[in-house]
Amino acid sequence: MRLTVGGTTYEGRVVDLRGRAVDGATLAAAVRGDRCLPAVASADPPPVYDYCGHVHAAMGLRTRTALAAAGRSRGYETPHDDAIDELREQLASSDPDAPSLPSVRDDVSRSTLADQREAAATQRGRLEARRTLGVDTDAAEQAVREATRTLSERETERVAAEESRRRRRELARAYRDRLAERRQLADALANRQRDARECLVNRLHDRYVAALEAVPGSRPTDPFEASPVTAALAVLRIARTEAPVVVGTDCFADPTAAADVLDAPIIRC
Amino acid sequence: MLLVVAHSRPARRDLRNVCRAHDDCVVRRFGRAALLSWTEFAAFQALRLHEKHGLDVQLERVVPFEPADVPDHVQEAADTYEDRDHPSTPYARFASGRDLPAPDEMRGADL
């Protein structure tokens, strides 16, 4: 690895930054590529580093999850992997976003429409009456045209409002169907992932117990009750660790001992 | 009544909070849905949820329903079928040969 801190460049399998006052969490983030400073050039860390990439006294650890990730770093597979990939793909291909709905149109009430029909009929009646009387019908004809036009406009508006309402309901329903489907997929995915994790943990159980023996720290009767630091070290010993591990505890005699036990590049800080 | 259905976790949480705080306008609560009274205040609460969560909150108007609201033949079909001798007879088989509507006939007919 190659690491630059405050203008000084360090190279090698073990870098000791004690006395440089560099924050371990910052270094771990730089190793993961979440930060660009300090500059770290090293192999890309596998997901197990999300759990164990920074070993320090205040850390917590979901040991089984981390152990499963260690198995993954070694390329272990489970019978659930195909199903997991498929479910992930299905989730990724279903659109989680809410659709944009057509805007709400002012509805034309039935009574408005009835009034307008009546008005049009009245105007037609007037026109008929004037024709029968044989008097001037220009104004009356004009009134009939206007009333008829208004009526047809209102009818069109009403149809458009109904259509927009129907469309909004359809889109909303389809969206909610999609949400329900996504929830089912996410549940199924979580179940499969749990099964896969269990599979990996079972497979690694003996190696984990052996690794606990090899790393510093106390060993409880239940290996999964080991303290986070001890468990993390055991997990790291099992994992393929080509990227540097940030070690912030002094449980090893020196950083080189840590590199030997974990078989990993070490940044001691 | 107003039916409010929450389709996301945050919407569900807020619906629960609204129901807790204003149980005077809650007619019935279900897992992620609630029936609210047909009042302006209930509508106000429902619209607040809708404003905040968009389509993740579904609002529906619910009207009371009584058996007499459906056509007689549907009512009769339900009564006769529930009175059948063999519980395992599916309705489609039960209806054929009797003067009862076929399932598809009813599916195609709006109430």
pLDDT, tens digit (0-9, with 9 covering 90-100), for A99-137 = 888 888 777 888 888 999 999 999 999 999 999 988 888
pLDDT for B19 equals: 95
Tell me: do A169 and A206 sit in the same domain.
Answer: no
pTM, two decimals, is 0.70
Tell me: do A65 and A130 sit in the same domain.
Answer: no
Q: Do B58 and A172 make contact, defined as CB atoms within 8 angstroms?
A: yes
In a domain, A133, yes or no: yes
pLDDT for A71 equals: 94
Q: Domain containing A168: what range?
A: 110-180
The closest alpha carbon to A165, from A104, A242, A123, belongs to: A104
pLDDT of A215 strictly over 90: no
pLDDT for A19 equals: 80
Q: Do B7 and A172 make contact, defined as CB atoms within 8 angstroms?
A: no
In a domain, A92, yes or no: no
Average pLDDT over residues A213-221: 84
Which tokens belong to A107?
A: 């509805």
pLDDT for A86 equals: 95
Q: Do B55 and A172 make contact, defined as CB atoms within 8 angstroms?
A: yes
Tell me: do A57 and A116 sit in the same domain.
Answer: no
Instruction: Tell me the pLDDT band of A199, cut-offs 50, 70 and 90.
Output: very high
Distance CA A208, CA A224 (A): 9
pLDDT for B57 equals: 96
In a domain, A83, yes or no: no
Residues in A touching B54 (Cβ below 8 Å): 98
**Nearest residue of B to residue A181, measured between CA atoms:** B7
Residues in B touching A172 (Cβ below 8 Å): 55, 58
pLDDT for B58 equals: 95
The count of structural domains within chain A is: 2
pLDDT for A96 equals: 83
In a domain, A104, yes or no: no
Distances from the Cα of A137 to the Cαs of A133, A143, A203, B34, in angstroms?
A: 10, 10, 98, 61
Phi-psi region of A7 (alpha: psi -120 to 50; beta: other; left: phi over 0): left
The closest alpha carbon to A264, from A5, A6, A31, A26, belongs to: A31
Task: Yes or no: say if A237 and A214 are a contact pair by the CB < 8 Å rule.
Answer: yes
Tell me: do A70 and A130 sit in the same domain.
Answer: no
- The parts of chain B modelled with pLDDT lower than 50 are none
Average pLDDT over residues A146-169: 90
